[in-house]
A and B are shown apart, each in its own frame.
Chain A
Amino acid sequence: MTDSLLVATDLVKTYGPVKAVRGVTFHCNPGEVLALVGENGAGKSTVAKMLAGAVAPTSGTITVDGEPLASGSVRQSRLSGVRCAFQELALVPDWTVAENLSLPDGAPLKGFSQKKAVAAASALLESLHLSRIDPRAAVSTLSLADRQLVEIARALAGRPKLLILDEASSALTPPGVEWLFARIRELTAEGGSVIYVSHRLGEIAQIADRGTVLRDGLVAGEFVRGDWTDDELISLMAGRAAERFFPDPPERTTDAVALSVTDLRSEGLRGIDLELGAGEILGIGGLQGHGQAELLRALFGAAPAVADSWTVAGRSISRTNPVRSVRLGLGYVPEDRKREGLALEMSVGENLLAPWFKAYQLGGRPRLAQERGWIDGILKALSVRTRGPNELAGSLSGGNQQKLVFGRWMDRSRRVVLLHDPTRGIDVRAKQELYRAIVDLAKEGVGILWFSTEVEELVHVCHRVVVLYQGAVADELIGDRLTADAVVGAAVGATGSLNLTTEGVAS
């Protein structure tokens, strides 16, 4: 144990009566990638934050290189060579990439030079093979994936001894993940260590040397490379035998068309033809930033768009806006559940009902009472863990929040539901519950258009997958051609062949 880089002993963290972490012990050797896995609420993020110094442990010790880590100070942590990239991005949206990258080391009394910051940022991005990101661009103008890359770059900038990646790959596309793995291997080759927190078992299989499974704030088990299967890990995380991971798409029973569009043009879209059948689950693949977000927003009317012909449930339209789309029978689960999906200060029930408020009808508690049957049905169908419809949406965990954004469109006679990566950053059990709900919705004849950054979801749960590349349809995959390699291949513009290099990110 003495040669371990990091030793965490019996970490406990309580928030009032809530015990987030109840005694976690693990160590990490130099040059090693240690995975921390567990469901949401298992305590992974709290442990990561304690290591980063963002949260002080209630009891327990952390030593780095034999020296106790000054707890509760991000600055002290950084000085001891610990850097962290968080899932909830810690970048200032209105600042440029360069300003954000210089933020941690900016000594406030030394003054700040825009020119030097840009030069330093360019050099850093260059050295990390991210030169396509403009250091002068405001972070808010970047895609979520690019923002995550910047966040990781910022953590890598200090050549850390210990790098903590807390769900840092959640928005990354396969080539982005490859890029991240290349950086991790560079770091470990130099003797640095990485704590890798992720839900993606495929990534863990690829990169982790060892792993620690957390459940309910305790260590549920440990594993070493090559010595485990997905099912074993899932049952360890969930504390129960795992069910089959992905459900199959349901049998199509009708040829009716739910949505069709030809030559759809919008900002970031270069003429898209698309047809979605009733009861069909159509996956949208591709790298982030190649038009998937724009496609969903355009189809819902959240961004202006025109098309040669455009029908929704058989009705021809020339353009739409969100109000009209909801009336036409569309539903939309947006990318950012906290900002675009929920009113966090309002109740669970009212968040479910948000699209169905009519100015002249009842609202508030009388409406919740009226709709009690529907609300309880949705909460039950999706296994939302909540104290009830009157709990604030903001106090639910991420996965349960996501279920609310999805659930508001269930049993509301939708014709088409547009999903923007609904399973991003939520735990395995919540994912399975969402898969089941999506399949059930399709069984009822709802057309599902589902953009996912997780290729396995597209391959297993969708009838058909359309891959976008630079704002246009690169390939349509169905039947035997629908494989993970084909989706990834088409995503990087190399139809039919697998080409997983960092050039994919740079394109």
Chain B
Amino acid sequence: MTTPGTSAPDTVGTPASTGPLGTAPGVDTSPAGIDRAEGVGGSAPESPRGSHASFLSRVPRSVWPLLAFLVLFGIGGIIRPNLITIDSLIGTATFAIILAIASFGQTIAVIQAGIDLSVPNTIGFSALAFLTLVGPLGPVGAFVAALAAGAVIGFFNGVVISKLGLTPIVTTIAMNGLLFGVILLAFNFSELTVTPDFVIAITSAKISVFGISMAAVLPLGLALMVVLQLVLSFTGWGRSLFVVGSAAETARLAGLPVDRIRITGYMLSGLLAAFAGIVIVGYYQQASATMGASYLLASVAAVVVGGASIFGGRGSVVGTVGGALVLGQVSTLVTVLNLGANIQQLIYGAIILIVISLYGRRRAA
């Protein structure tokens, strides 16, 4: 990927889509020809097609958004060859990792067949609370307090959803509205200017990894991704979350503490959104009442593009990072092509619809 050149999309794209077919007997044409051969190869031996299908189904879902990102990255390179640089990649990845951090909580909500539409104002609330409390509590105290606030917000979401049985979409959007009111009433915006050093140190400060200079938030986000993925894949809590998301009644009748799993899931979602708020403050060094607004659509888009099922029971934070990279690259392309920020929202919406319809078909097949 470090080599500039317009052939990037071909070399990246073709092995994935036609790789196993390369072994099909008697096919010696161009890559396009291989694709066509598959289409008409009804009389071909069954085994290559069978292994082709099973190979595709064995590929982890989180690989697809990463491939999509590389294709988009290559397309960017075709339009502007000077975009294929390490700096450009790091720039997009940094934008994407911040979106990913804001979407990790959303991932956990979606896996348990819910959704957390209070992410935007949880981000805003925690960021503003953090800046307000740095004075009285000191940076670490304010940091802990802001995270706790996020967890409390999630706790209320979870209790209302699991104990009162309200739908997640209504509950969390009401919470989002409620938080916006609190933000406008509680904070004195004119006093919020200073960002504590330690937050800058973990976000916007430049550090060098393997000789490549990048903002600290990038390794931080990737480390968080690894930790969360381990929790989701390899702990009883993580697997229980998937059982609840996949079939809540099954989980209940198997004797799993469904309410507790739901509530802790939303608490973690709120806590991660709060962490995202602090990260955003640290990276952009500004905060406002509407600072989270753009993450409403973007966080859902990143999760869905990342391969999570909007019906629950499927998803990964690795996939979400991939989804965020795709959206980040889209955003880069929008900027390069000078299309304006409004087009970006339109494209995000279109991507959500396309991806949901694609995955929906795979689910039915």
Is there an interface contact between A16 and B237, defined as CB atoms closer than 8 Å?
Answer: no
Distance in Å from the Cβ of A349 to the closest Cβ of chain B?
Answer: 10
- The answer for the CA separation of A322 and B250 in the assembled complex, in Å, is 11
Contacts A17-B49, A345-B314 given; does A363 touch B235 at CB 8 Å: yes
Question: Which residues 206-265 of B have a CB within 8 angstroms of A?
Answer: 233-240, 242-243, 246-247, 249-257, 260-261, 264
* A-B contact list, 20 entries, CB within 8 Å: A327-B255, A339-B247, A339-B249, A341-B253, A342-B247, A342-B250, A343-B243, A343-B313, A344-B246, A344-B247, A345-B314, A354-B243, A355-B255, A357-B239, A363-B240, A364-B233, A364-B235, A364-B239, A365-B233, A365-B234
Binding site for B on A (CB under 8 A): 16-17, 300, 302, 322-323, 325-327, 332, 334, 339-346, 350, 353-355, 357-367, 408
Which 10 pairs, one residue from A and one from B, show the smallest C-beta to C-beta distance? Answer: A326-B255, A363-B239, A343-B246, A359-B237, A357-B236, A355-B254, A363-B236, A354-B254, A361-B236, A364-B234
B237: chain A residues at CB < 8 Å are 357, 359-360, 363
At the interface, yes or no: B191 with Cβ under 8 Å from chain A? no
- The answer for the CA separation of A340 and B313 in the assembled complex, in Å, is 15
Which of the residues B50, B236, B256, B309 comes within 8 Å of A323, measured between beta carbons?
A: B256
- The answer for the CA separation of A79 and B313 in the assembled complex, in Å, is 41
Is there an interface contact between B253 and A302, defined as CB atoms closer than 8 Å?
Answer: yes
Q: Tell me whether chain B's interface is mostly helix, strand or loop, or mixed.
A: helix
- The answer for the CA separation of A325 and B243 in the assembled complex, in Å, is 19
A364: chain B residues at CB < 8 Å are 233-235, 238-239
Which of the residues A345, A367, A408 comes within 8 Å of B254, measured between beta carbons?
A: A408
Which of the residues A334, A345, A361 comes within 8 Å of B313, measured between beta carbons?
A: A345
- The answer for the CA separation of A326 and B49 in the assembled complex, in Å, is 46
Using CB atoms, name the residue of chain B closest to A409.
Answer: B254
A302: chain B residues at CB < 8 Å are 252-253
B261: chain A residues at CB < 8 Å are 359
- The answer for the CA separation of A129 and B309 in the assembled complex, in Å, is 45
At the interface, yes or no: B28 with Cβ under 8 Å from chain A? no
Contacts A339-B250, A346-B313 given; does A323 touch B257 at CB 8 Å: yes
Distance in Å from the Cβ of A16 to the closest Cβ of chain B?
Answer: 7
Distance in Å from the Cβ of A276 to the closest Cβ of chain B?
Answer: 19
At the interface, yes or no: B53 with Cβ under 8 Å from chain A? yes
Using CB atoms, name the residue of chain A closest to B53.
Answer: A16
B253: chain A residues at CB < 8 Å are 300, 302, 322, 332, 334, 340-341
B252: chain A residues at CB < 8 Å are 302, 322
Using CB atoms, name the residue of chain B closest to A332.
Answer: B253
- The answer for the CA separation of A271 and B246 in the assembled complex, in Å, is 36
A16: chain B residues at CB < 8 Å are 49-50, 53
Using CB atoms, name the residue of chain A closest to B243.
Answer: A343
Contacts A362-B236, A363-B236, A365-B234 given; does A346 touch B255 at CB 8 Å: no
Is there an interface contact between A340 and B250, defined as CB atoms closer than 8 Å?
Answer: yes
Residue of A323, A325, A344, A366 with most chain B CB atoms under a 10 A cut-off: A323
Contacts A359-B236, A363-B236 given; does A346 touch B249 at CB 8 Å: no
Residue of A332, A350, A364 with most chain B CB atoms under a 10 A cut-off: A364
Is there an interface contact between B239 and A17, defined as CB atoms closer than 8 Å?
Answer: no
A17: chain B residues at CB < 8 Å are 46, 49-50
B246: chain A residues at CB < 8 Å are 343-346
- The answer for the CA separation of A17 and B54 in the assembled complex, in Å, is 11
